Structure 1
Amino acid sequence: MSRSPVVARRRLGAALRELRTAAGLKLEDAARTLDCSMSKVSRLENGKGVPRHRDVRDLVELFGAAAREREDELMRLVADSLSAGEGLVTDFRDVFEGAVVSNEVSRYLALEQDATAISAFEPFLVPGLLQTAEFAEAVVGFFYPERTRGERRRLVDLRMQRQEVLRRPGKGRLRFAVVIAEQALRRPIGGPAVMRKQLEHLAGQLRDGLSEVEFRVAPLDLVHAGVLGGPFAVLRFADEQDQDVVYLEGRDGATYLETEEQVRRYGETFAALLEACPDRAGSIAIVERAAELISS
C-alpha cells in the first residue's frame, strides 16, 4: 500500500541512517559515494531531501549485505516518496506546489493526515481542526495578507478539508487531544460576530459530537509550565517504523523534534497540562462563558 510522500521520505531516511550506522560508516562516506555534500545526505536521512533511485541503489551497494536484503523495500519507499500522494496533498496540489504555504507547514499538513494521534497545545487561536470557515478566513487574512483572494480562499478550503481526519470511520479516525488557553477564546479574531459564532460552534461540536476529541481549556489563572511556551503538537503514528514527532510553531517558521527523548518530554508536559485543566464539561462551560462575554 502506498503512503504519503512525506511519510515515505521519513521512513526511507530512517532506514538509510540505520543501515549506514550498522555498517559502521559516516555521513562523509555516503557523501563520497554519491559525490555530494554531507548536508545533502543528512537531509536525505532526515526525510527532507527528494531521493533519487540511483542514489539509493548506490547507497545499498555501499552499506552491504544487510542493505541488499532490504533493497526492494527501499525502492518502494523511493517510489512512494516521488508519487503525487493521495487525498489532501493531491486535492490541494496548487497550494503545496505553488509555495502558498512554507515547506514546514506543508510537511506538517501531510504528517497530520497520516498521524493516528495528535496532542496539541494552542495558546493563541482555536486550532485549525476546530475552526469555522469564517474564523479560518479571518486567520488566513492575518497570516497571508500578500496572497490573492483566490489563494486565500484555497487556504480556507484546505483548512476545512483537514477536519475530515476527525470524521474518518472506525480506526482511521484521528485521536485528537487539545488544550486551548482561555485567552485564545477572548481574542475577537474576525470581529465579535465571527468570534461568537466560532465559540458557539466549538461548544456545540463538543457537546453534541466529536466525542473522541479530548478537549480542555487552560484557565487564565492557571500557573503551569506547559502554558508558558508557544504552541506545540505531538504527532504519533501507528507503524513503529514511522517516527513520532513534535512540531513547534513560531512566527518565523517551524521546528521539528524527532528524538525519543524530545517526544517523551513534550508528551509528558502535555499530559500534565491536561491533568491540571478543568474537565471536559468545565472546559466547555468556559467556552460558553467566553461566547456570552463577547456577545455582551
Structure 2
Amino acid sequence: MSVPVSPTRQLLGRALREARTAAGLSQHAVATILDCSQGKINKLESGVVVVKDTDLRLLVKHLGIDEATATRMVDLLDMVRRERGWSGRHALIPPFFRRYQQSEQHAVHVRGWHAEAIPGLLQSERNMLTLLSVAGPDALDDQVRNREERRQVFTANPDAQHHYILGEGAFHRIRSSRGPGVALDQVEHLLRTLDRHPQLAVQVLTYATNFVPGDFSIVTMPEGLDDFVYLERVNNADYLTKEKDLLAHDHAWSRLAEQALSLEESRRHLETLRNHLCDESSD
C-alpha cells in the first residue's frame, strides 16, 4: 500500500507551483534555474520530493517571491522536517493517526462526534494522565508532551474552526471510572478552553436522543487537498475521501447537531455539571 503524501508537503509543493505560474514560467524553465530535470520539478510541486534550502532560496530570488510567501514556504519546510521519521517521543504517536495529526495543523474545519470519550485535543491534564498511565512511567511524560504539543493547533492555526459534539455519557463515564475529581477537572478545562478559543464550539448530545452513530471526524482541508472522514478502530483507522462517504457523514453530522443541545444550552449544561461535581468532590 502506498503511503500518502503528507498535507504539509502537498501545501509546500502547491506554494511552489503557484509561485512558478505567477512568474509565468514553465516547469522546464524552473528546472534550468535549479539545474535539474523537469520531472524533479513536477515531484517538488506534488510534494513527492521536498525542496532543499538552497533551492528554495534560488526560487525566491528568481521567481520574485514576496517576503510573506517566502516566510510561509520556510515555515512549511520546517514543519516537513519535524514530520520526518517520527523519531523520539513522536514515535509514540500511532502510525495510523499521524496523517490526521498532520492534517489537523492545516485544516479549515474539523467536526468531531464522540459518544463515550473526550477527544485528546480537549482532554484535561488529570484526565489525560489517568488514560495514558497504562503506557508506564517511562513513556508517560513523552505521551503528555505529545498531547500538549498537539493542543497548540488552536493557536498555530487560529483560523480553523473546530466543532465537537460530545455524548453526555462521556462525562458520566469519567465520573464513574475515574472519580468526580477527575470529571470536575475535565469539565472545568473544557469551559476554560472554550473561553480561550472562540473558534472552538462544543455541543452536548444528551441521552434523550435515539440517533447515536459510531464516532467519526470530518476534516475539511484547504483548496487542492482532499477532505476526509476519519474513522478510528483499535489499532488502525480509515480515511474516507469519496464524495458519497463525505456526504453521508455530513448528513449524519447535521442530524446530530440538530438533536444536540445548542451551543448556549451546552454551555449551561456543562456549568451545571461542574457545580454538581464540585459539590460531590467536596463531600
Moved more, 148-157 or 112-121: 148-157
Q: Aligned-pair distance for 1:243? A: 0.5
Moved more, 150-159 or 229-238: 150-159
SS of equivalent residue, structure 1 residue 80: coil
Q: Aligned-pair distance for 1:122? A: 0.8
**Relative to 1, partners in 2 of residues 1:91 and 1:158: Cα closer, same or farther, differing over 3 Å?**
farther
Q: C-alpha offsets along residues 236-258 of structure 1, whole Å, 9 cap, x if unaligned?
A: 1112x210011011224211111
For residue 173 of structure 1, what is the aligned residue in structure 2? 159
For residue 150 of structure 1, what is the aligned residue in structure 2? 138
- Of residues 211, 224, 232, the one that matches 2:198 is 211
| 2:43 is aligned with 1:74 | yes
**Relative to 1, partners in 2 of residues 1:93 and 1:260: Cα closer, same or farther, differing over 3 Å?**
same
**Relative to 1, partners in 2 of residues 1:132 and 1:88: Cα closer, same or farther, differing over 3 Å?**
farther
**Relative to 1, partners in 2 of residues 1:211 and 1:253: Cα closer, same or farther, differing over 3 Å?**
same
**Relative to 1, partners in 2 of residues 1:267 and 1:160: Cα closer, same or farther, differing over 3 Å?**
same
Q: Following superposition of structure 1 onto structure 2, how do residues 187-266 of structure 1 map, counting pairs within 5 Å?
A: 187=173, 188=175, 190-206=178-194, 208-224=195-211, 227=212, 229-239=213-223, 241-266=224-249
| 2:15 is aligned with 1:6 | no
Q: Is the 8 A contact 2:8 2:79 kept in 1?
A: no
- Of residues 118, 143, 149, the one that matches 2:110 is 118
1-side partners of 2:110 and 2:39: how far apart?
31
For residue 291 of structure 1, what is the aligned residue in structure 2? 274
2-side partners of 1:218 and 1:112: how far apart?
24
Q: Aligned-pair distance for 1:101? A: 3.0
The percent of aligned pairs where both chains have the same amino acid is: 20
1-side partners of 2:44 and 2:187: how far apart?
48
Q: Is the 8 A contact 1:248 1:254 kept in 2?
A: yes
**Relative to 1, partners in 2 of residues 1:221 and 1:271: Cα closer, same or farther, differing over 3 Å?**
same
Q: C-alpha offsets along residues 176-215 of structure 1, whole Å, 9 cap, x if unaligned?
A: 0110000001122543212211112212332x33222121
Matched letter for residue 78 of structure 1: V
**Relative to 1, partners in 2 of residues 1:11 and 1:167: Cα closer, same or farther, differing over 3 Å?**
closer
Matched letter for residue 161 of structure 2: R
TM-score (norm 2): 0.69
2-side partners of 1:173 and 1:9: how far apart?
20
Q: Following superposition of structure 1 onto structure 2, how do residues 77-156 of structure 1 map, counting pairs within 5 Å?
A: 77-80=47-50, 85-86=79-80, 89=83, 93-96=87-90, 98=91, 100-141=92-133, 145=134, 147-156=135-144
**Relative to 1, partners in 2 of residues 1:87 and 1:157: Cα closer, same or farther, differing over 3 Å?**
farther
1-side partners of 2:228 and 2:220: how far apart?
7
Matched letter for residue 248 of structure 2: R
2-side partners of 1:153 and 1:291: how far apart?
28
Matched letter for residue 79 of structure 1: V
| 2:260 is aligned with 1:277 | yes
Q: Aligned-pair distance for 1:291? A: 2.8
1-side partners of 2:5 and 2:79: how far apart?
6
TM-score (norm 1): 0.66
**Relative to 1, partners in 2 of residues 1:196 and 1:87: Cα closer, same or farther, differing over 3 Å?**
farther
1-side partners of 2:182 and 2:93: how far apart?
24
Question: Structure 1: any 5+ residue segments left out of the alignment?
Answer: 13-67
1-side partners of 2:41 and 2:123: how far apart?
42
2-side partners of 1:238 and 1:179: how far apart?
23
**Relative to 1, partners in 2 of residues 1:176 and 1:245: Cα closer, same or farther, differing over 3 Å?**
same
